[in-house]
Structure formats: C-alpha cells, structure tokens
Structure 1
Amino acid sequence: MARVLIPWIILLVTTGFVCGQIFFPADTTFLVSRPVVQQQNAGATCTNHMNKKGRCKRLFECFFMYTQLADLIKQTPCRLANQPSVFGVCCPNSESDSQKTSGVSSAGTLFFKPPDVPIPDLKPQDIQNAVQAALVVVEQRVELEKNLFNNRIVVQPDTAVNFHLNLFPTTSETLDVGKDAIKGLESSIQLVNQNMLTVDQGRFALPFFQASSSPLADTCRPQVNCPSPLSHFRTMDGSCNNEQRPEWGQINVALQRIIPPKYGDGVNTPRLAVGDVELPSARLVSQSLTESSHRSSQSETWTLMLMQWGQFLDHDITHSPLVRGQNSTGVTCCQRGQFLDASVRHPDCFPIAIPENDPFYAQFNQRCMEFVRSLPAPRPGCTFGPREQLNQVTAFIDGSTVYGSNDEAANQLREFNGGRLATQRSLKGHTLLPVKAEECSDFLRQRFCFRAGDGRVNEQPQLAVIHTLWVREHNRVADALQQLNPSWSDERVFQESRRIIGAEIQQITYNEFLPIFLGEDYMSSLVQGIIEGFTAFGSQTQSLLLHQHQSKPFELYEDTGVDTLVRGLLMQPAQKMDRAFTDELKNRLFQGKQSFGMDLIALNLQRGRDHGLPPYNDYRELCGRPRANQWQDLLDVIDQRVVQEMSRIYNSIDDVDLFIGGVSERQVEGALLGPTFLCLIGDQFARLRRGDRLFYEEATAQFTQQQLASLRSIGLARILCDNGDDIKSIQSSAFLRSDVQNRRRPCQGSSDIPELDLTLWRE
C-alpha cells in the first residue's frame, strides 16, 4: 500500500514524534467522495475533465508526475474495462506525452522524473565502487555505535526521550530491515558523491538503477507468496491484500509518496531553506506560530472522544520507528542541555536548536532538544535513490492495535481457547488488558503497564481505555460466536471475531468520525492538557495533568477506573481546531520526573524535515490552489497576522513547513480542516477505503447482506455500552457533546443505539 508523506499531522497526538505519512493504496482514485460514475462503454474508453479522449485506468498506471495530480483529482471516476466494480481515472491516450514525463521501474513502483533531468551513464563498476565504499561507511557506523554504547553516550533513564522510546518499541525484525536499508542508502549517497550527480539526479534518476544486481542483492525484500485463492481472513502482517502487489500494506515496507522528497543533497540530508541554508529552528517556529490553549479554546460541540479515536486510528495504520544504537539503545544527541560534540554524535542525530531566549527552556539552560531520524526503509523495487521510511504496523484499518501486526505478536495476545484474547482481572473482577510488567509499574510494583496489539497503548490512560474496550468487545463477540457455533475451532472463532471487530472499527471511522472531521491529522490540536473523569451522575471525580500520567495507565485498576475515564471522554470537550496547543504538549511532553519535557509541535516540524517533506507551498499547489509567489498570496486561506509572523520567521515563502502552513489555514466551511489538509486527508481515507480488498463493504470481505446491514447500524456508543463496566446511558453520537439533539439514551432498548445481531453468524 502506498502512502503519501506529510508531516505529523497524522499525529500520534500526545506521543511526540511525527510519523509523517499518509497511506494511499495505489490502485484507487484520488476521490474524497463518490461522485456519479461515468458509464462509458464499461470503462474501455472515456472522456476526461478537459474533454480529451482516453482509457479508464488505475491511478498508478496513469499518474506521470506530481504536477498532474491536481488535474486527476478533479476527474469524475470511470469504471475499468476488465473490472467494472473498480473505479479508475480517465487517462489521456497520448502515450508519447506519458513517456516523456513518467518512469516506472522494472518492479512497477512509481517514481517521478522531470523530463529535463539527464539519466547518468552509470556503469556496473560505478555501482560496485559505490557499494564497496558504502559498506566501509556502514562498518565505521557500527564501530561508532559500539563506542557510544561502551562510553554510555546513550539515552539515559528517567528522561523525556527515554519515556518516548519505551512507549514506541521497535521489533528486532524491523531493526534488521532498517540495517539493510542503511546499506542501500549509503550506496546512494556514494553514487551521488563519486559521480558528482546533481540534487535532482539523486532524486529522480537514481531510482532507474537496481541494487538487485549489485553486492546488495541480499538486502532486497523476498517475494511474498500468497495462497490461491486469497482468503477472506486478513494476514496478520497485512500481506496478500492486493493480489498483484501482495507487499502493499505489509509491515516493514517503504512508505510511498505522492510528491517527491526534497532532501538537502537529493537523497538523504534533511530539507534546507531556499539558498541551501538551514531552516529556522523548529522550536522557534513552534513558539512563534502557535498559541497556548485556554478554556476559551474548548469546543462547544465535540467531545474529547474525537481526539481519542483519532489517536487510536492513527496507531492502527502508522508507526515509523526511529534509528537506534548498539543493543537497541536509544541514540542521544544532547548532553546536559547542550549539543553533543560532533566527534561523538551519531550520524542520524538531528537535534533541535532551542533559542537562547526561549520563554520556557531558558530557565533550565536548555539549548538542545533531542531528536533522532526515522529508520530508513529499503526502497521499493530494490532501487537506489532517496531515503524512505518504514511502517512497522499494517497499513490498513484492520484493528492491528488490538491484534498486533505479525503472528508472533498476535500469539502473545491470544488465550487459544474459544477464540478469545488474553486478559487479566482487577481486584474488583473487571476485565483489563494483560500485564506488561517489564515496561512500567507503579512505585510499589503492584500495578503494571498493559500489553496490547500496539506498543503505544500505555502512552496515556484514555488511550489504554480504548484498547481495553476493544479487547472486551472481541471477547464478547467470540463468546457469542462460540455459543452459536459450538463446532467452530478456536482459530475459526478468533478469525471471525477479528473480522467483525475490524468491520466495526471501519464502520465507526467512516460513518461517525470522518463525517465530522475528515481526517485524523490534526488530532493533536484537539488534545486537552487535563484528563477529567466523571461519575454516572456527571460529577467530576478526576483532574489529571497529562504529563503526569504519560506511561502511567494505572487509573484503570481503580474500581470504576474504566467507566470514569470513558465518561470523561464523553463529557469533556475537545479543543477547537486552531493553532492553540496545550503547554502539556509544547513544553512538558514525556516530562516524567523532570522539570521540563519536549515540544510536540517542534518534533512534528523536525520530523517533516527529516523525511524530506517538501514545503507547504508545494502541497498547496498539489491540492489545486494557486502557488503562492509572495506572502500576501497566502491571505486567501491564512489570517494576515499569521502570514506576517511567518514572513518574520521564514526567509522565503517556499520555506514554510507543511505542518505549520496546514494548521494555520482557516477551516473549510462544514469541515474541521483547512483546504490543504482536507485535500490530503480526504484523499488518504479514500485510498484506505478503495485500496483494501477486505474492507467490510467489499464483496471480497464476504459478509452477507444481512450481516452488513447489522454492521452498518453500529456506532461507537454501542461499543461503549456493551463493554463499559456499568455504563447505563450514553448520547447516541459519542463524538458530540450531549444536548437536546443528542440526548443521552439508555443502553438497553433504545432504537438510537442498536445492537449487533450476532445470530446472523450462526452457521
């Protein structure tokens, strides 16, 4: 599954580091909604929006350059000739034009090549020389990591960055894939340097050259073998969803882009400002162009559940791991608040400079904020070229947060009895997630962190609550299916229950969440700095500072802990969609026992630069708006005082980071996002829907019409009713605050909160 890299607006909300990616299955159209489909000779021929004749093709077969994307988005979809149920785009007939502007490697992967970039005449010996030099660099890197480890120049316990690393575990399998990718990346760097390639040749020409015929052949990904016929049960690792491209959506593959990266050297170094100078400090941008949230920033409409679902959903589809050192230790780039000396600095250090007069960090004498680059990924098709990033989880909305993203993780979570997932019982007998004692515990080691399908479960209590509810829902469904079908094996019950849970998550996402928000990108701006809890009568019982309860989900062990936090999510307002962020995220992220933490906004900006994301202006143009040539051109979507501040911080309009440009835009009427993020996120979820063979509404998912009808009636309120400890009533729309139009209803017997009819699964 391909994905478009945008900065951490696909935000891990309170987790800290930009994942910086959006998925898009490459065999789908770029459509946010479903306009009327053209009925033109079953899709064999068509007429596009420019009144030109063409053939109906899949997007990736027609998409030649990123500059054509805006035009393709405008098209009305057509039906493919050989697959009438699949939508495509009307691709012009002029093959000569496509040959001038497109390039597809022998592996069929998409890349972009402007017509004026000459392909270098690289000989096999040139590639051999580059690889040999690269392997020497890799050995030197390994030796440096050993020395850093031996001298204890690694992330120290009880620091903000250590809390983050503990919350974002990286598997040994993923680290091994990353090590192979480093060899290919270093070889690409050597090819650029040894052959004096231009920046654009590094970006666009190197992908013409294969690593599979070089000494790096053993680092190429093995071919995925799928069963025939394909199963209607998902694989745990996301493979075999697409028959033609079985690796799409699989874990540990490179994320693809809809727009080329802009690395400083074309292949690896973080993005630079116009003139090849450094961009302004990400912390300076964060402090200057965002505001601190306050009570007036609270939404009068949306509940905090809107934010929490966004984070849970994000964790289901994206996790870009970080580079690690010897023995998987964390890489450190700062020492006592100052930059480490270059002689002992890891090559993937990219620390954030803190201004000397910073209004918060100056009091602690902090001039350096820790930041390590994302782990590189082997390039699609095993080619040379720019640095890409890994996704450590499956790229589908499939409940991987509940079940894990490989067989090993799933097996650790199962009871292997009646299709159930493993749980523990609290002292009061309530079902909780299984223990992960090695991660964290309270002071007395009586309460421990939890184990779930996603390692970020313990980030904060409300996230752990959502995980808990879905494990309970799985076991509720499994028990019912086993009773209805006593002859079913444990495996059959487990897989059928997993299929239903995935469908429920998709149903809630596409029919409750997206109509309100149309994307999860901006969820960090909805985060409250305080976690509140309420009794069944609406009395507030808790007020927890976020930074004091990160990596401390122990509230769930209390007698009414789950229900109290659920009511908090339903009653506490979210923050409004604006540039205001709580100080819990801007100054105290992962603070722990220290006096200060990290800045999520600065980390998001730095992650975008790490990933080589082009500037905001490029995405603005990509999404159909005129390219801004001067600062006043931004006034069509951004307020004047913000534009003025941007012009003070950035030297050029083409330096503005996508994240800050996107969050600064005024909302599109009827949506919670500005036009650029609305375009990108809407497209993302269209692809997640259309590119998933096992999406619950597809015929290949094999739900009956009666089962589908029942699944389509389910809302998040039903899940909360069925799986809370003692939830008796709830508003029918859990994402909206309770009012006259959204009254609280009894969980039982209310037609506004229908139940899933599991008798439809009786075999």
Structure 2
Amino acid sequence: MEQPGLTALHKLFAWEHNRLAELIHDELYPRFSVDEPDTTDLNRIFDEARLVVEATMRKITYEDWLPALSGRKLKQNDVDYINLNVSPNIMTIFSGAFFRVGHTMVNNEFWRFDTGNGNVNRNGGGGGRQDDDAKVMMDAKAVMVNEDHENVARLNKDLMDHGHRILTVGAVLTTMNIDPILAGLVYQPNQAIDTLVVPALRSHLFEFNLALVDGTHTTAFDLVARNIQRGRDLGIDSYVDVRTGLLGSFVNAVTSWEDITQNGHTIQKLKNLYGETGWGKLDLYVGMLLERHEQGSSLGRTLRAGIELQFSILQQGDCLWYTKTLRTCGAGIPLFDEKLAILTGSRTLAGVLRDNTGLDVAPNYNDFQTRHSQGAQSSLHHKACLPAICMILRNLHSCSCSPTSQLRHCLE
C-alpha cells in the first residue's frame, strides 16, 4: 500500500491541474461562445495548467517547506542567469542517504478526521475545531501505516459509516474522498528527526501484501537496514568523508565519537559496531541522524548542508526554473492572476487546499508548523513528503560538481 499522505497529495495536485484547466478553458472559450477547442487548443490548455502546477509545487517546496525544515532560506536564483557549470542532476548521496531522512519522520499511524463541517482552522473560530489536544486526539481515527488485509473489512465499514466511497483492489484500500487524510496531516505532527524509527517501518514493512506475495506471509523488511545497505551498494562515502567534503576539515574534523554525538549510550553501541576508533567507517545514513540539530533547524549540520546543496543546484542549473517560465506574465496571458500569486509568494499549500477540497483552511495558515510551537525538532507535518513529488520524475544520477564551492554561494 502506498503511503497514504503521498497518495492524497498526488490526488490534490491532480485536482489543482483540472481546476486550472477549467479556468483556462472558460477564459479562452466563454460560456456562450460558439467555438470549441480543437486538439491544439486542448494541448495548450493542458500544458498551461501543468506549467502553473509545477511552479506552485516548486514555490511551496523552496519558499515554504525547505525553510521550515532547514531553518533558513536559499538565495533565489537570478531569473536571467543559468549556471552552465552546475549539473542539475540528483546527487547519489542525496538519493541514497540524505533524502531518506523522511523515514525517521513517519508516524506509526495516520490520523483521519470526519470532515463533515469542512473546518480545520486551528484557531477554532467560526465553528471550527477547538484548539485542544485532547479533542484532536479524540476526534482522530487512526490508520496503521502497515494496515493488513484482516483490517480491510473493518476499515470499509468505518469509512462507509462516514459517508466515504471506497475502492478495494487486492490489499490496497483507497478512499474516494481524501479530505479526512489531508485534515489528519494538517493536525498530526511528524516524528522528530533522530535515530528512532517507528515499528511499522522497522518490523512490519510489507509484512503482508496480497498483490506482491500471492497471499502468503513473508518476512517483513527493516527499512533502516535497507537504507544502510543501499548506501553501501551505491558506494556512498562514509559519514566522515561526506561531512569533510561538504563542510571542510578545519573546524569540522572528526577525531572521536564525541564529535558526532554526546549520547554515551549511543557511543558505546557505535564502538561495539564500528570499533573503538571506527568513526571513519560510519555509514552516512547513520551519522547524519546522530548529529545534534543546528539551532532553529530540524537538521544536523551535515544533513542540512547536503539537502541545501541539492536543492540549490537544482535551482541554479534549471533552464526551466519557475521564475523564468512565469516571466511571460502579462495582460491576456491565461492564468495571469494565478501566475502572479506564485511570483509574489502569496500562493501557498493552504490555498491549494482551499481551492480543491472541502477544508476551510485559513488563508494565512502555515501547513508546515504544528498546532503549538514545540521547537524546531517537531515543527513539520507529514507534508514534508511533498518535495518527493517534485523530484519524482528526476533521473537519479551522481552530480560531478564541486559541492564545497557551490555551498558557499547558495546560502544567505
């Protein structure tokens, strides 16, 4: 079963594309027009809507999500400048380790809400939900991440009781209404970024899946073990080597386990696994999660540098960066107001939710903050998976650029 939050976001942005396509159609072909769009016009409508959806996702990712995660903004690339010396590919250290950070943020279950009143305003005004943790927990209906076939019948009845249409294909259960899942994502904080990963991903992943194993029980996957092995299979350098390459060795040299973590119990485990002086062999995935978070950030120093570098080179080397493609805005251009909202920064994920679902999300609502300020380590929601959608069509190749020199110029 695919991750429910990611499935909901896929559907949300498909709806956004269709909404924009309808706006373009109505603009080009008013209601009482005798003309009908031909194939060329239909293709134009589709492409214009896709252009705005892509720009919306990039704006949300770079301007809203990434600063919430790292604690600071990247410099915006000059709209007239493309750095031909930058390869806009995905670095192996990013795809094989750094962006697997989301696995430690996953909860053991997803919250769903009965969204009959459509109101998920955290401030509780205007008939919305009370801003009360106990009430939120009481209202939530949990769905286990590793929900198996034995619970499908119970889940079906539960969904029908709430008026949802359902579709069951093998062991995969899909609700035709994603509002309950999206409302849950709005309220539910993710897990802190650390070395702890929930049992659903460590002990029960793909434990039972009719579509994959013909109805027979299988040994569950340990996602953390797979992440570590993936890094070794890809030939990713050790944590110490990557840290030195990104940050330099002068002030970031590792000469003891204490330079990585101050937790004595963890240090003893590391010594047992890697040896008394084995920090030079430490796997990147393990080391990046051990780091103490930077002030105001949910990430440690090496992890933040790697993620910011990847997003920076994607921006610098992209000749179709959204601020370039939207510069053609002008009178008579389809979706002028929508494009202008993206360029001025006023288009947010809250706006996408308001326009495409029954959720009455406040216009100034920040989708990447918890209901209460609980510090940087818990300042995000599961919608941290959104950039995975932005990058899903990217080829996963190693970047041949010099990371240290690029990193110096990508931060404000």
Match of 2:62 among 510, 519, 537: 510
Distance 2:56 2:148 in 1: 29
Residue number in structure 2 paired with 1:715: 348
Distance 1:681 1:527 in 2: 18
Distance 2:19 2:252 in 1: 58
Counterpart AA for 2:24: L
CA contact (8 A) 2:260 2:291 kept: yes
Residue number in structure 1 paired with 2:235: 612
1:545 aligns with 2:139: no
1:491 aligns with 2:114: no
1:650 aligns with 2:229: no
Question: How far off is 1:634 after superposition?
Answer: 3.9
Distance 1:511 1:621 in 2: 28
Residue number in structure 1 paired with 2:22: 479
Residue number in structure 1 paired with 2:108: 529
Cα–Cα, structure 1 residues 603 and 569, in superposed 2: closer, same or farther, change >3 Å? same
Distance 1:628 1:601 in 2: 30
Secondary structure of the equivalent of 1:574? coil
The alignment covers a number of residue pairs equal to 279
Cα–Cα, structure 1 residues 592 and 703, in superposed 2: closer, same or farther, change >3 Å? farther
CA contact (8 A) 1:628 1:634 kept: no
Please give the per-residue CA displacement for 1:521-555, whole angstroms capped at 9, x wherever unaligned.
Answer: 41111100111111244553521111116985524
Secondary structure of the equivalent of 2:370? coil
CA contact (8 A) 1:631 1:643 kept: no
Give the 5 Å matches for 1:126-145: none
Question: How far off is 1:729 after superposition?
Answer: 3.2
Question: How far off is 1:608 after superposition?
Answer: 0.5
1:581 aligns with 2:197: yes
Distance 1:624 1:739 in 2: 33
Counterpart AA for 1:507: K
1:624 aligns with 2:247: yes
* TM-score, length-scaled by structure 2: 0.62
CA contact (8 A) 2:257 2:279 kept: no
Please give the per-residue CA displacement for 1:293-350, whole angstroms capped at 9, x wherever unaligned.
Answer: xxxxxxxxxxxxxxxxxxxxxxxxxxxxxxxxxxxxxxxxxxxxxxxxxxxxxxxxxx
Distance 2:50 2:279 in 1: 48
Cα–Cα, structure 1 residues 630 and 566, in superposed 2: closer, same or farther, change >3 Å? closer
Gaps of 5+ in 1: 1-457, 742-763
CA contact (8 A) 1:628 1:653 kept: no
Counterpart AA for 1:472: W
Q: Which has the higher contact order (CA 8 A, sep 6+)?
A: 2
Secondary structure of the equivalent of 2:26? helix
Match of 2:329 among 701, 704, 714: 704
After TM superposition, what 4+ stretches of structure 1 lie above 6 angstroms from structure 2? 627-631
Question: How far off is 1:464 after superposition?
Answer: 1.2
Residue number in structure 2 paired with 1:107: none
Residue number in structure 2 paired with 1:639: 262
CA contact (8 A) 2:293 2:299 kept: yes
Structure (1/2) with the larger helix percentage: 2
Question: How far off is 1:520 after superposition?
Answer: 4.6
Please give the per-residue CA displacement for 1:121-161, whole angstroms capped at 9, x wherever unaligned.
Answer: xxxxxxxxxxxxxxxxxxxxxxxxxxxxxxxxxxxxxxxxx
CA contact (8 A) 1:693 1:701 kept: no
Counterpart AA for 1:650: Y
Question: How far off is 1:596 after superposition?
Answer: 4.5
Residue number in structure 1 paired with 2:86: none
Give the 5 Å matches for 1:293-312: none
Secondary structure of the equivalent of 2:175? helix
Counterpart AA for 1:710: A
* TM-score, length-scaled by structure 1: 0.34
CA contact (8 A) 1:531 1:546 kept: yes
Counterpart AA for 2:365: S
**Considering only aligned residues, what root-mean-square deviation do their CA atoms show, in Å?**
2.8
Distance 1:485 1:632 in 2: 66
Residue number in structure 2 paired with 1:732: 365
CA contact (8 A) 1:616 1:658 kept: yes
Counterpart AA for 1:548: E
CA contact (8 A) 1:630 1:653 kept: no
Residue number in structure 2 paired with 1:663: 289
Residue number in structure 2 paired with 1:603: 226
After alignment, is 538-547 or 709-718 more displaced? Answer: 538-547
CA contact (8 A) 1:694 1:701 kept: no
Distance 1:532 1:564 in 2: 8
CA contact (8 A) 2:113 2:183 kept: yes
Residue number in structure 2 paired with 1:690: 316
Question: How far off is 1:510 after superposition?
Answer: 0.6
Cα–Cα, structure 1 residues 693 and 552, in superposed 2: closer, same or farther, change >3 Å? farther
Distance 2:340 2:252 in 1: 51
Identity %: 27
Distance 1:718 1:629 in 2: 42
CA contact (8 A) 1:531 1:543 kept: yes
Question: How far off is 1:713 after superposition?
Answer: 1.0
Secondary structure of the equivalent of 2:270? helix
Distance 1:628 1:471 in 2: 47
Give the 5 Å matches for 1:16-55: none
Distance 1:647 1:629 in 2: 21
Give the 5 Å matches for 1:53-452: none
Secondary structure of the equivalent of 1:597? coil
Question: How far off is 1:655 after superposition?
Answer: 1.4
Question: How far off is 1:679 after superposition?
Answer: 1.0
Cα–Cα, structure 1 residues 549 and 685, in superposed 2: closer, same or farther, change >3 Å? farther
Question: How far off is 1:673 after superposition?
Answer: 0.9
CA contact (8 A) 1:579 1:664 kept: yes
